[in-house]
Structure 1
Amino acid sequence: MSDQINLDGPAIDQSTEDPQPEPFQIRVANRVDRLPPYMFGRINAMLYQKRRDGSDVIDMGMGNPSDPPQTDVVEKLTEAAQDERNHGYSKSNGLLNLRREVCNKYQRKYDVELEADHEVIACLGSKEGFSHMCLALMGPGDTAIIPSPYFPIHMYAVILASGNVVTLDVFDPEKFLRNVEYTCQTFTPRPKLLIINYPHNPSAATIEPDFFVEVVRLAKKYGFMVIHDFAYADIGFDGYQPPSFLSAPGAKDVGVEFTTMSKGYNMAGWRVGFCAGNADMIRALGTIKGYYDYGMFQAVQIAAIVAMRDTEDAVAEQALVYQSRRDALVDGLRRIGWEIDPPKAGMFVWAKVPEQWRHMSTMDFAMMLLEKGDVAVSPGSGFGPAGEGYLRMSLVENEQRLRQAVRQISRCLDKQSALSSSSST
């Protein structure tokens, strides 16, 4: 009888204690694991700490405009924000009148005709639009060609969209185009997307309009789409006018162009950007944005209309301000022995590290300038292997501060050279 099953007993013996649970783990998506550590984290942490300690650090690291927007634009923002009708959800593609102003600017400045309803979309800054465009176009197995050194989002927006990347040297435009064609001839499957960025960040490389004519020819020959990141459209020096990709015949057949109000209009924190060009690509971006956002605050859009309509003279004057800052920084660095090619456009000087210091990584060199000289710069390695040996210096500080930065760099390097010499004897 003892072998009989007790039908009234519990199905499983009750444990006297609950088992010790395994440590809970957060398992993020593979796309996050594919991203490297943030390259500028060490610099930003030290910059923050030094400023908390009272150091007056001259920050030439980030291209964050320090000049204010025009007063009329800020006043329009205030007025529009006080209108209760502007506080609801806005269309994710932007107000029609804002898109019309983009069309007017392209017609006026580049002789390019755009259709506001189908060929222009507003973005929450060009970086958001670019990232979502990559999500709309790319997927597993797709390949994009990007310039090298690269602005990080040009690389990692593709990776976040599960695509692959081929990097090509950006410094010689003709060589870049030859390499694009060679890549298309030898890769299987062929690249789906070409990402270009002129004036280039970080290197400040520039091109002439014929470059885009050849890009369109190659795109049609090999069947790839084109995204041109035109963030520095409004900042040309010494009479140079950065050309628009859309001004090339047939450009709208193969691609789009992203612009922004962050730089020339000093509206970086407002997050107003645009994508213009191929209607099918615009539609795809609009589909993605329709799922991800409700558009930018309508008062910001209304103020942006005023900025585009009424402050173009101020945009031209702002370019002259950056040109004067470029001259102050380049002249100062040359006086202390640096080899510098003055940029023709953009907000940055791409400075080659002096030969005496090339035994150091650019990250270590930049950290030394910050720690010992109270000057923050961006190490070239933050823009990929091709950036090693260079520093990116932004032109957001005024001329007096830039000259002071050069003096502090000079004193820092002289002191470190003296310490190195004394330790070796």
Structure 2
Amino acid sequence: MNPMKITTADRIKALPPYVFARLDELKARAREQGLDLIDLGMGNPDGFAPQPVIDSAIEAFKNPLNHGYPPFEGTANFRKAITNWYHRRYNVHLDPDSEALPLIGSKEGLSHLAMAYINPGDVVLVPNPAYPAHFRGPLIAGGKIHSLNLCAANDWLIDLGAIPDEVAAQAKMLYFNYPSNPTTAVAPREFFEEIVAFAKKHEILLVHDLCYAELAFDGYQPTSLLEIPGAKDIGVEFHTLSKTYNMAGWRVGFVVGNNQVIQGLRTLKTNLDYGIFSVLQTAAETALQLPDSYLQDVQTRYRDRRDFMIKGLGELGWDIPKSQATMYLWIPCPVGISSTDFALKVLQETGVVFTPGNAFGSCGEGYVRISLIAENDRLGEALNRLKKAGIKYSL
């Protein structure tokens, strides 16, 4: 008897290869060969979550009421902690009952939002390069991606004036992310004012991913979309606890903003999941209430790593401007070698993992992203390996 042929849905076949999964395969193979990897690929923070967060989770575990299904809309206490944090941080007032929704990490919410609001054939505006969930979610939902091509000459900012009127008229949603992953670009408040006006003019839902809200340096403070008057009428903003609080594996995030959009996403999620384990929501409340001194320590740590790597790469020929935010460096590849080939060369010859820029879209070609997720001694070892292998900006 012949085995039944099982095929995936067309929506899965249409997805481009997920580079991070491919990188995991290559890393596993390298480890099997005995390489001591220094993994600066994924944005996976090193170290523990803050001790008060761990302590609150331990205490919450002891409450039997926390071991049942959580509320679909998240616990009232966590939602209130979210809106209090927003008011404290941005002076933005939000209703915890209708304008805030906890998520099983922001990636889940970003992807599910597309399923809630995109019909097959709907046009979605997405920067290129971008965090993969910004275009993969709409693709899975059947959306038609219109790439907003970014470049260094424009400081990796979206050029709203370059979007054709006929495309803007058809567009239903626009994803964007400043401070940016992968480019580390930041956007001034004036840009946010312009994009809100653009979205209102063309009736486009704005989806802003403020993942790196707290990872900013040298006095820079990222802008929240919701600080802009009228933004709540046409937009939502996503956050994660993964980066700032070293809670990537805990899978906790949230979305805030337009109550109708929040309700639509909530309706979808009630049919797909049961929300976040209540214990983790209690811990997340604690995280959002930590004193500013904790945030200053985190910012100092990443700033020092940034400066250390920029200095070391400078000795190898790279002239890299200091990024004002995120946990990354976005560096050009040596002339004449592609992003993928350069990342593979570095991995195979040194055991150091970078992410090829084309993992984030075609306009990321010619760059690699370096995650600052190791202490300076390991970063120094990575730099020494590059030097010994003769890897520099001009190969």
* CA deviation profile, 1:61-110 (whole Å, cap 9, x unmatched): 01000021111111111111121111000012211111111111111111
Aligned to 2:35: 55
The answer to whether the aligner puts 1:148 opposite 2:140 as a matched pair is no
Counterpart pick for 2:160 among 174, 178, 188:
178
The answer to whether the aligner puts 1:341 opposite 2:318 as a matched pair is no
* CA deviation profile, 1:298-350 (whole Å, cap 9, x unmatched): 01111111121134421231011111000011111011101312211001100
The answer to whether the aligner puts 1:308 opposite 2:288 as a matched pair is yes
In the alignment, residue 372 of structure 1 is paired with which amino acid?
Answer: E
Counterpart pick for 2:65 among 68, 71, 85:
85
The answer to whether the aligner puts 1:161 opposite 2:141 as a matched pair is yes
Once residues 389 and 146 of structure 2 are traced to their aligned partners in structure 1, the CA distance between those partners, rounded to angstroms, is 38
Alpha-carbon deviation of 1:111?
A: 0.9
In the alignment, residue 321 of structure 1 is paired with which amino acid?
Answer: R
Once residues 344 and 22 of structure 2 are traced to their aligned partners in structure 1, the CA distance between those partners, rounded to angstroms, is 8
The answer to whether the aligner puts 1:407 opposite 2:384 as a matched pair is yes
Secondary structure in 2 matching 1:167: strand
Aligned to 1:278: 258
The answer to whether the aligner puts 1:74 opposite 2:54 as a matched pair is yes
In the alignment, residue 158 of structure 2 is paired with which amino acid?
Answer: F
Superposition pairs for residues 272-421 of structure 1, below 5 Å?
A: 272-355=252-335, 359-413=336-390
In the alignment, residue 147 of structure 2 is paired with which amino acid?
Answer: T
Deviates more, 1:321-330 or 1:37-46: 37-46
Counterpart pick for 1:131 among 68, 87, 111:
111
- Matched-pair contact (CA < 8 Å) for 1:168–1:179: no
* CA deviation profile, 1:99-125 (whole Å, cap 9, x unmatched): 111111111111111110000000000
- Matched-pair contact (CA < 8 Å) for 1:150–1:383: yes
Secondary structure in 2 matching 1:219: helix
Aligned to 1:9: none
Alpha-carbon deviation of 1:414?
A: 5.1
Alignment TM-score, normalising by the size of structure 1:
0.89
Secondary structure in 2 matching 1:368: helix
Once residues 242 and 187 of structure 1 are traced to their aligned partners in structure 2, the CA distance between those partners, rounded to angstroms, is 29
Once residues 43 and 144 of structure 1 are traced to their aligned partners in structure 2, the CA distance between those partners, rounded to angstroms, is 28
Counterpart pick for 2:223 among 225, 243, 246:
243
Cα separation, partners in 2 of 1:211 and 1:173, compared to 1, 3 Å: farther
The answer to whether the aligner puts 1:33 opposite 2:13 as a matched pair is yes
- Matched-pair contact (CA < 8 Å) for 2:157–2:187: no
Alpha-carbon deviation of 1:196?
A: 0.7
Secondary structure in 1 matching 2:369: strand
Corresponding pairs, count = 393
Alpha-carbon deviation of 1:363?
A: 1.0
- Matched-pair contact (CA < 8 Å) for 2:354–2:369: yes
Once residues 42 and 193 of structure 1 are traced to their aligned partners in structure 2, the CA distance between those partners, rounded to angstroms, is 29
- Matched-pair contact (CA < 8 Å) for 1:92–1:122: no
Secondary structure in 1 matching 2:158: helix
Aligned to 2:78: 98
Alpha-carbon deviation of 1:174?
A: 9.5
Alpha-carbon deviation of 1:176?
A: 2.2
Deviates more, 1:80-89 or 1:162-171: 162-171
Alignment TM-score, normalising by the size of structure 2:
0.95
Alpha-carbon deviation of 1:411?
A: 1.7
Unaligned runs of 5+ in 2: none
Alpha-carbon deviation of 1:412?
A: 1.5
Cα separation, partners in 2 of 1:74 and 1:388, compared to 1, 3 Å: same
Counterpart pick for 2:207 among 227, 246, 269:
227
Alpha-carbon deviation of 1:189?
A: 5.4
In the alignment, residue 141 of structure 2 is paired with which amino acid?
Answer: A
CA RMSD of aligned residues (A): 1.9
- Matched-pair contact (CA < 8 Å) for 2:185–2:323: yes
Counterpart pick for 1:45 among 25, 33, 40:
25
Cα separation, partners in 2 of 1:344 and 1:175, compared to 1, 3 Å: closer
Once residues 193 and 155 of structure 2 are traced to their aligned partners in structure 1, the CA distance between those partners, rounded to angstroms, is 12
Once residues 353 and 52 of structure 1 are traced to their aligned partners in structure 2, the CA distance between those partners, rounded to angstroms, is 27
Cα separation, partners in 2 of 1:100 and 1:170, compared to 1, 3 Å: farther
- Matched-pair contact (CA < 8 Å) for 1:352–1:390: yes
When Rg is computed on C-alpha atoms for both structures, the one with the higher figure is: 1
Alpha-carbon deviation of 1:402?
A: 1.1
In the alignment, residue 74 of structure 1 is paired with which amino acid?
Answer: I
